Chain A
Amino acid sequence: MATKVQTPAGTKAAEGLTNEEILRYSRHLIMPEVGMEGQLKLKNAKVLLVGTGGLGAPLGLYLAAAGVGKLGLVDFDVVDFTNLQRQVTFGSSDVGKPKSEAARARLSNLNPDIQVQAFETKLTSENALELFKDFDIIVDGTDNFPTRYLVNDACVLLGKPNVYGSIFRFEGQVTIFGMPGGPCYRCLYPEPPPPGLVPSCAEGGVLGVLPGIVGSIQAMETIKLVLGSGRNLTGRLLLFDALEMGFREFKLRKNPKCPMCGEHRTIDKLIDYYEFCGVRGEEAPAPDLKVPEMTPRELKARLDRGEDLFILDVREPHEYQICNLRGHLIPLGELPRRVHELDSSREIVAHCRSGKRSAEAVDFLRKAGFRKIVNLKGGILAWSDEVDASVPKY
């Protein structure tokens, strides 16, 4: 199997690649921009993927296929059915398996010549430096602010490049942080958004192909860093708009006053990133609003008894189409100007998908003088679990 290529004495070109590898990477090897030298650089490269989800899928597949010698995969999550719409590393048979291990199996199958290491753990301030130290390049494919700041700070402390990508619905951002002389994530965004400023949570979702495109750009930039070729995205924020189908580019500068990578660094170790991102107080609504509730079973029993209950659905119209409890639809955002549609003398049960938005609606309506309104505990999700499994969860 792993026989060394026989080369004439004096030529070292093929050293380190087996005949099988030469065949596998032949489309790289015949490109002068990669060639044998570049392929060996890839073989010696060690890249850590933080997150093996939407962005991690194309990243893992392409980097493994390209022959990156050592790939680390950090993820603590488990594959579920909602992942399959975009996380193309996984198949239906992977549902329920740890992502890092399922991805490791898939990538090892794709390319048995590389070393793929799964770290089934949450990245924390305690383990980040230890995990990162054995890798040359860190690729951030996570989905939350605390981890993004953690990845950034750990990369700056260790002097490692951070290939950054993030997505929102149909838009993506890509750049490289942590290069010598280049900006870091804190130069771009010194602070995360406070918890209160969440856009309408019904605005969720992501076009399945979007992480494929953004993650592929991250993979391309990672390979260019390894090869040392071309012009990489350091100092440039690439913005991709899938609906417009276009790219825009913004100049990123290193902030001389950056607390992490500036001249007078004030952060010299990893901090508590949940505190940094979560407990910022500023106009944050109470995370769990305390409002009167009714359980799905209780609602069902009362409806079965023929009681006069008014069901108020505060989700968005497109969610109503997925499934509904035949309630009266007023999206949360429209509630203030559509209050007149409600009769405060009737008993009202408000619901949404999970119970969070409807808690806000109940809170709002109680403040507006409604006394007989309660929240359906757990929303449609709980209704599906406890009362009627034919109602789909989404």
Chain B
Amino acid sequence: MAVKVLIPPPLRPHAGGQAAAEFAAKNVEEALGQLTSEFAGLKRHLFTEEGRLRSFVNVYVNGEDIRYLAQEKTPTKDGDTINIIPSIAGGAPENGAKGSRAARVGMTDQAV
């Protein structure tokens, strides 16, 4: 048993395509720390240079937002699930080069 971290589709390319990973961790910080040391490419997507969780990435433990628990010190135990939920903007993704390209930055789902 361990803590399960579910990786959202936009971040999977930075996690070797994996949808989930499991770690022995006693809080969110430890779990995400292990996740980003295993997949270094994930780090800058989850944390700022100062090491703070990015404001467009929400983290939930068993469905509860850690911002309303103990932030990254939120304790975890075996069998818990951590969800990482980044903001996504897609709705009517376009493949063409029209519209404002700059507007679709971030985790939109268009090919460029």
Q: Which A positions have Cβ atoms within 8 angstroms of B?
A: 51-56, 77-78, 80, 82-83, 87, 140-148, 165-171, 173, 188-195, 197-206, 211, 237, 239, 248-253, 255, 274, 277-278, 282-283, 287, 333, 353-354, 356-357, 381, 394
Contact = CB atoms under 8 A, between A and B. Distances in A.
Chain B interface mostly: loop
B12 to A, nearest CB: 8
A382 to B, nearest CB: 11
A252 B89 CA distance: 18
A253 B68 contact: yes
Nearest to A85: B95
A56 B63 contact: no
B66 to A, nearest CB: 11
A56 B92 contact: yes
Contacts of A143: 89-94, 104, 108, 110
B89 A169 contact: no
A316 B11 CA distance: 17
Contact of B99 (A77, A168, A192, A274): A77
B26 interface: no
Contact of A211 (B55, B87, B92): B92
B102 A287 contact: yes
A250 B60 contact: yes
B13 A54 contact: no
A274 B101 CA distance: 11
B63 A141 contact: no
A255 B65 CA distance: 11
Contact of B55 (A77, A146, A191, A248): A191
Nearest 3 A-B pairs (CB), nearest first?
Answer: A53-B92, A204-B111, A193-B106
A316 to B, nearest CB: 10
Nearest to A255: B67
Interface of B: 8-11, 13-14, 44-45, 48-49, 54-56, 58, 60, 63-65, 67-68, 83, 85-112
24 contacts: A54-B92, A82-B95, A83-B94, A145-B104, A168-B8, A169-B9, A171-B9, A189-B58, A189-B87, A193-B56, A193-B106, A199-B10, A201-B110, A204-B111, A211-B92, A248-B63, A250-B65, A251-B64, A253-B65, A253-B68, A277-B106, A282-B48, A333-B13, A394-B95
Given A83-B94, A239-B85, 16 more contacts: A142-B89, A145-B87, A168-B108, A169-B10, A170-B9, A193-B86, A193-B106, A195-B102, A198-B105, A211-B91, A211-B92, A251-B65, A274-B103, A277-B105, A287-B101, A287-B102
A356 B112 contact: yes
A23 B22 CA distance: 56
B109 A192 contact: no
Contacts, number: 196
A77 B94 contact: yes
A253 B67 CA distance: 10
Nearest to A197: B45
Nearest to A147: B103
Contacts of B56: 189-193
B86 to A, nearest CB: 7
A274 B102 CA distance: 8
Contacts of B97: 354, 381
B83 A168 contact: no
A192 B102 CA distance: 13
Given A145-B103, A203-B10, A167 B58 contact: no
Given A55-B92, A141-B92, A143-B104, A201 B111 contact: yes
A260 B58 CA distance: 19
Contacts of B98: 77-78
Nearest to B97: A354
A53 B9 CA distance: 22
A140 B88 CA distance: 13
A74 B104 CA distance: 18
Contact of A168 (B102, B103, B109, B111): B109
Contact of B105 (A145, A188, A239, A253): A145
B57 to A, nearest CB: 8
Nearest to A164: B91
A190 B55 contact: yes
A78 B92 CA distance: 12
B67 to A, nearest CB: 8
A140 B91 contact: yes
**Most chain B CB inside 10 Å of its own CB: which residue of A278, A357, A381:** A278
Nearest to A75: B92
Contacts of A173: 85, 88
